[in-house]
A and B are shown apart, each in its own frame.
Chain A
Amino acid sequence: MENRIVCVPGQRLCRLDSTHTLGKGTYKRQDYIYSSLAGIVNVDNTNNKISVVEVLSKDQTIVPAPGDIVTAMVTTLNQDMCKCLITSVCGHELNETYRSSLRRQDVRMKEIDKIDMLQCFRPGDIILARILPMTEAHTFKLTTAENELGVVIACSEYGHPMTPISWTEMKCTKTSAVEYRKVAKIVQDNADENT
């Protein structure tokens, strides 16, 4: 390890001016940048005008925040909404699941009144969704109202995995039965990332 500065929370790193800005793991107080984690100080000089001061640390526990794309598993379903457990945030797996719910009107963008929840999701499906901005509610609210969001992995009634055919249908691999889901349109380049 050559010349890396190890810092602890509360250590003053540098002055906050036009050439340095705050990065991850830092906070500002009275014109100076302080560290809020224990780790190594890294100054990111890729942008020529401004260098970003950040603190690299071990993997921290991530908390879901509004606007993040999350992977969730559907647990219960009724006509108004379905309850899900958030298992990973932006690709990082969480140690513990967070409870969340997906309302009927947030399933897709078009024809909101004609949505039948049973034809969009089933318990046990793995979905990609986005967290809506926080409201007064106690659980996270999700939305799948985009083309790239929706069911990614599902099992048919007979217990075998299914592959997507269109944006509303999935086909069982063993029995070739077709079932209805709100399927996520996965762009081919990112196919490996999403399995």
Chain B
Amino acid sequence: MKYTDEFRDAEKAKVLIKEIDKLVATIEIAKTRPINIMEVCGGHTHSIFRYGLEGMLPDAIELVHGPGCPVCVLPMGRVDDCVSIAERPEVIFTTFGDAMRVPGSKKSLQQAKADGADVRMVYSPMDALSLARKNPDREVVFFGLGFETTMPSTALTVLQAEADGIENFSVFCNHITIVPTIKAILDSPDLHLDGFLGPGHVSMVIGTAPYEFIADFYKRPMVVAGFEPLDVLQSIWMVLKQIKDGRAEIENQYARIVPEAGNNAALTAVGKVYELREFFEWRGLGSIDHSGVKVRDDYARFDAERKFAIPGVKIADPKSCQCGEVLKGVIKPWQCKVFGTACTPEMPLGALMVSSEGACAAYYQYGGVKKHTTVRSGSQPVSVS
């Protein structure tokens, strides 16, 4: 398949792994402890597991799976709000597929659907707008979810709805923004991160400038990375190279998609429709200042939060859950007290077990329930359980 196979070439991977091995051998800190690199984006976590990348990397590299799965970090109270909107008889509630299973305090959208709510899976907010056109007597609500990656598409849909005079469409806005969250992680006292793989698709929209503080203030290298396995390996090599050279810079490995300045048209649409919230609640991480956006007053009639009375009750994360520590890279998923026992993909307690992009679900599915040991590249297969 063109445009993907080129980035999945096993021969090139071998060369890259060899180069990574060589580089790691020259890095001083790797002699005493592992080098911790956080991939911020859930898309990277998915690629790492899908292609078995962790097992190919030298032991001296620890990948820490970051908070960049928007489905995972959605707090329970917000899911309850979704369910309460979805259960209104006049509402058709539309959502991306993987948000269906996120548990609320009482039920998920999937359960609400089984109980009679009209919940429909769509692939784009524009599909939700078409539904609103086709059902003028119903209220169509789109579950706006995700980072800057999906924010422009919901903003443009709101603008389209306004232009077409469609009044029975609204967005339940749960969009979040990654930069304040990376900052919160960097400010955390129990942090041990040596570098970052930056989120490729978010950066396609916002560009690379918003990350400069990571290098300037926190002196950590970041490489904005693509999602194919060779992209990830090359980006890891680039982070290591910076560590080796004693540099802390924001580099762009994903230049074929990510322009340094971002996408102006997308940013304009986002700026027009959304403004920063004072704070937003993240599952596992708590409340983070300026980490979410809401619909501006000018577009209030497309804001489901204002159109419908939502309970807006804050639900505390289950006490036994250690999602926050996993997200910050303090513990590995299998070190969580409830991993694979009280918390499984069938009955997720914590957010990270919900989406296939969540670090815990990925370990559970691709890495096994017991401690994850992997196959070293080039050696005979050993037990992976």
A and B from one complex? no
Binding site for A on B (CB under 8 A): none
